Each structure stands twice: as structure tokens, then as C-alpha cells.
Chains A and B, each alone.
Chain A
Amino acid sequence: MAVALSSGAVSLSLSEVGRALLDTLFDRGNSQGAVIIGQIRLPRVLLAAVMGATLAMSGAAMQGLFRNPLADPSLIGVTAGASLGAALVIVTGGSLLQGYMGLTLVSAGAFVGGVIAVLFVYRLATSANGTSVATMLLAGIAITAFAGATGSLLEFFADNDMLRRISLWKMGGLDGANYPRLLLASIVSGAMLVLLPRYAGALNALLLGESEARHLGINVDSVKVALITWVAIGVGTSVAMVGTIAFVGLVVPHIVRMLAGPDHRYLLPASALAGALLLVVADTLARVLVAPTELPVGVITAIIGVPFFISLLRNRHHYGLQS
């Protein structure tokens, strides 16, 4: 955290960071350091930590619910729906897009898009016999494809400036960090951190299979609704705040499971911690690698994540995962 705070386009020593933090905390002084740390880096690093935790917990919950260690929050259509919502606002919003207000409108569009996509996928997969997880997976793929195609159509009609904003937004970035966003993200993340572990026992039983979980006394349908709702809110918020950030929700729970086993009582909080760490590191790299400009953080997580994921796939027998 401290290293993340001290590195950036303007390099500050750790003691300067400490002094600046104190200045910010007690609301005194407007030294350059205090401004950089208090107004720019602190909210950004905290937002990275909070969103990383949210994404990783969402991923852990989805992998448990779908009984598939390769599942990802984007599987149920949240990410694609949110991207479409954001693109829609960018393209149609026109002059409304200026400044701070515009950014929140895009975020709202993303959140609404993500939630609508999940609702749609959920309705498709739910019949009188309950919700089929397999159907949900397929419906998620269909919605993702549809949202992708519609997004491309929008991009086709977009002008150059919109196009660049859409593609930057898709790559994800934490540069929009500020305290109101951080507050909102922390509320969502905090709620997930408190509530999701309550479903740890249910998720553990669900790994045996849905009917087995039911025979162990789990009310499977209500657990499903609760988890899908929280993942939709969590991922929707994160896409709204920081764009699409790939692989955190997929790789982090996977690594934690390899180290600590599949027991969700440990998996959920440990994933939150590891996800926070990964995103802070990735964002720090994004800021310093090509300073004074920045790389999109989604690109960094993907670049770290993909080789790791491939090595995981190659060694899956080693970790007791089935082929």
C-alpha cells in the first residue's frame, strides 16, 4: 500500500507519504505532497483495493455456485451488459458527457446495463423447476454475444472521440477515483465482505451438487438468488467505477483455492484480500511503467493473468483439479 502510494509520476519517499497522510488526515496544509497523496493517490489506491476485493469475492462465489473452477463473474452477463450500458450512454449522451457529471452518467449506464443483463439471464434460466445453472451459463454466453454485437454496432456509428472513450473505458482504469466513488464502492464491498461469508457453508455443500446440497438442508434456490444478486451488484458497481477489469475474478479465487483448499469459509475472505492486493499492484504498475502517462489497468491484469492462467491449466492435475 505504502509503495503504491509513494510511486507514480511524481515520486515521493515513504516519509513524505507518511507526512502527507497525516496532513490529509488532520486537514491541514496544502503541500504538493499532501495534494498528490490526499486528492489523487489515496482514493485511487483504496478504490483499487476495494474493487479488487469485490471482484475476487464475486469470482469465488460464482465459481462455487456454478461448481466450475473456471467460472468468472462475466459469465452471467454482468460485464457485457455493463459495457453495453456504458457505450450506449457515451454514444447517445452527446454533450451531456462533459466533466464530472458525464463520468457518473456513464457509470450509472454501466450499472443499469449490468443489472438488466443479469435479470434477463436469470429469467431465461428459471422455470417452474427452479433455476438451472447450466442454462444460466448458456444464457450468459448468449447475452454476452448479443451485448457485444450491439456494442460493435454502436461503435460503428460512433465518432472518433466516442470510439476512443468507449475503448479506453473497456480497458478499465482507476483514474476516475475520488472520495464519493470510494465511499460508494466501500459500502458495496463492505456489505459483500460481511454477507457473503454467511453463505460459505451453503457454497461448500453446493460443490457436492445441487440436490446433495438440498439434502444437506440448504435452501438452494434462495442461496442462488442471494448470491447472484450480490455478484450483480458487486460486479455492476466495479464495472461502473473502474471499467472492465479482466481476470481478477477468475484467477484470484483460483490461486487461493490452490493454496488454501476449496473451503469457502477461508476462500471468500482470502480471495478478497488477494484480489485487493493484485489490483493495487496492477494499478501501481499501470501508473509507473510508462509515466507520466498511464496504461489501462485492465490490460495489466490481463497481461499478468493470462500467462498465470495458462500455467494453471497445464498443471491442473497437480492441484487435484479434474481435466
Chain B
Amino acid sequence: MGCSRELIAAVSILQLRHVSAAPWGPALLDDINISLEPGAILGLAGPNGAGKSSLLRLIAGDINSNGGELTLAGRPLSHWTPQQRALRLAFLPQMSLLSFPYTVEEVVLLGRTPHASGNETDRVILEQVLELTDTLDLRHRLYTQLSGGERQRTQLARVFTQIWGEDSLAGKLLLLDEPTSALDLAHQQQILSTVQLLARRGCAVVLAIHDLNLAASIADTVLVLDCGRQVALGSPQQVFTQSLFKEVFQVDVIVSSHPQQGFPLIIPQRSNL
């Protein structure tokens, strides 16, 4: 076991080489190249329809690539059974369709479906994750009666529960599509802190996020997409430049830096109509 874990740490958890995807005819993604080490946080940025969600769904196996090479822990994604993949990879989609009156606790425990860790372990994990997502007070409420932000925290708790473990999380991959879109300021910070905690314990994270200041504050690498193509890849400082925003987002911005933590701060300049 120890031996195999070292092996996992040596191999990058996620690797895409010249990956393209066109599930419905026109290319959604074209020539994507990324490599993710355990513990790395990759932020996906780009305008609406740039392919951020498509890339996440491609990595999660929802849509198939039709070119290039996509490997999870060194093994082609298509070689994984759903069960094996579910032990390594958790995915939070942008929207949830759940319309049955599960309690919050039941939804979160569904995250343990692929595991056979036993009821006791699952309950321990449940307590920890409910605390980290501030859903302890909601645990007996019905999911269908929650607000948008509360639902998002519940779904986040579910995917955290899926990859949670007592020991190192190296070799696991967390995919988050707009995890903070419905959250208030305090909960945004709390969720991002939890993501950082998971990353410190070895979990690799890919997140699509529209709030670029949040992206800059959490990601150590940013991938900018435009019309399915990879436009820029690098640290937030390298990538977030005035010319990039003009080119990709067609917005004039001032790029400053955070007075304490130093990551780039993006301040848009509104043009009057």
C-alpha cells in the first residue's frame, strides 16, 4: 500500500495531451494540454461558453474526447470502471436536479456510495464535512426546502464526503464547477479554505470559477479558455494581465495586487453606454 502511494505521488494525477472533444459536431475543446500534480489547484477561467464546464465534464468522463490522451493517475480514463473512478474522483456539477425530499444528511451520505467503509467511518466523515461546510444546522432539513446557497453547500459537502479520507488524499481529484456561485461572502471564504485544506492533504483540484479575484486567491495555476482553445496557462500573476482581459473578455481592467497576500486583484473599468 505504501509503495503504491509513492508511485501515485510520482505520477501526475491528471494529464491531458492534445485533447479535443466534439460530442455534438462542432469542437467544444481543442488541443488542451495540462498536467496536474497531487495537491495542485488549477483554476479554469474564460468567458461564457469558453469550454470550462465541458473540460470538467470531459475529465469526469461525462463526454468523450475524440483526440489526444487523457490519463488519470497514469492510466487512460476509459480504462477505469465507474466504481474505481468514483473512489478517486468527485465532481460537483454546476446545477443539481435533485427534487426528492431527502434530508441534507442523506444527500451528504450519498457521497459515500462508492465506498465500503462501514457506517461508523461514514458517520465520522459526515460530522467533519458538515462542520466544514457549515451545514450542521441544516442536517435534518429537507433538501427541497433549502435556499440556493444552502443547496450548494449541501452538494459541496456531498462531493467532499466522497473523497474524504483519514490519511493522505494524494491520488484523488476534485472537480468543482462554480462551487461558490450561490454563496455569500463568508461561505465563499469558508468553502475555499476547505478546498485549500484538501489540497494541502494531497488532493488535486480543478475548479471553474467566474469570480477571477477568487480564482487568483486560491489557484496556483490558471488555465484561460476561449472558444474551446487554451489561451494561457500559468500562475495567476503571469496570466492575469491587462492585455489578456482586453483580448479574451473584451473588458478594460486595472490589475493591482492584494495588499497582504500579493495575488493579483482585478478591478474592471466600466465603459458608459
Contact = CB atoms under 8 A, between A and B. Distances in A.
A261 B106 contact: yes
B100 A218 contact: no
Contacts of A321: 99-101, 144
B147 interface: no
B182 to A, nearest CB: 17
B97 interface: yes
Measured as residues with beta carbon below 8 angstroms from the partner, the interface class of chain A is 20 to 34
Contact of B86 (A208, A215, A322): A215
Interface stretch (A100-108, A151-159, A199-207): A199-207
B123 to A, nearest CB: 16
Interface string B92-119: 0100111111110011001101100000
Contacts of A322: 99, 144
B133 interface: no
B15 interface: no
A263 interface: yes
A201 B106 CA distance: 12
A197 interface: no
Interface in A218-263: 218-220, 257, 261-263
Interface in A279-323: 319-322
B82 A217 contact: yes
Contact of B60 (A67, A201, A215, A262): A215
B82 A262 contact: no
A216 B61 CA distance: 12
B41 to A, nearest CB: 20
A124 to B, nearest CB: 20
Nearest to B113: A216
Given A209-B97, A320-B142, A217 B113 contact: yes
A211 B82 CA distance: 11
Contacts of B82: 214, 217-220
Contacts of A212: 91, 93, 96
Contact of B162 (A216, A220, A319): A216
A69 interface: yes
Nearest to A220: B82
Given A261-B103, A261-B106, A209 B91 contact: no
A208 B96 contact: yes
A209 B96 contact: yes
B161 to A, nearest CB: 11
Interface in A166-223: 201, 204-205, 207-209, 211-212, 214-220
Q: Taking chain A's interface residues, is the majority helix, strand, or loop, or is none over half, making it mixed?
A: loop
Nearest to A63: B100
Given A204-B113, A207-B100, A263-B106, A215 B91 contact: yes
B93 to A, nearest CB: 7
Contacts of A208: 96-98, 107, 110, 158
Nearest to B106: A263
Contact of A217 (B96, B114, B143): B114
Measured as residues with beta carbon below 8 angstroms from the partner, the interface class of chain B is 35 or more
B256 interface: no
A69 B101 CA distance: 10
Interface string A262-282: 110000000000000000000
A315 to B, nearest CB: 13
A321 B144 CA distance: 7
A204 B101 contact: no
A217 B62 contact: no
A201 B142 CA distance: 19
A317 B114 CA distance: 32
B90 interface: yes
Given A320-B142, A322-B144, A209 B98 contact: yes
A220 B110 CA distance: 15
B86 A262 contact: no
Please indicate which of the listed interface residues B101, B102, B142, B145 has the most CB atoms of chain A within 10 Å of its own CB.
B101
B113 A218 contact: yes
B82 to A, nearest CB: 5
Contacts of B57: 211
A209 B143 CA distance: 14
Contacts of A204: 110, 113
A319 B101 contact: yes
Nearest to B162: A216
B87 A217 contact: yes
A92 to B, nearest CB: 44
B150 to A, nearest CB: 14
A207 B86 contact: no
B229 interface: no
Interface string B56-77: 0100111000000000000000
B85 interface: yes
Contact of B113 (A205, A209, A219, A262): A205
B36 interface: no
Given A212-B96, A262-B102, 8 more contacts: A201-B113, A208-B96, A209-B96, A211-B62, A215-B86, A217-B82, A261-B101, A261-B103
6 contacts: A208-B107, A208-B158, A212-B93, A212-B96, A263-B106, A320-B145
Which 10 A/B pairs are nearest by Cβ-Cβ distance? Answer: A217-B86, A320-B101, A217-B114, A320-B142, A217-B83, A262-B100, A216-B113, A209-B97, A320-B144, A215-B91
Interface of A: 67, 69, 201, 204-205, 207-209, 211-212, 214-220, 257, 261-263, 319-322
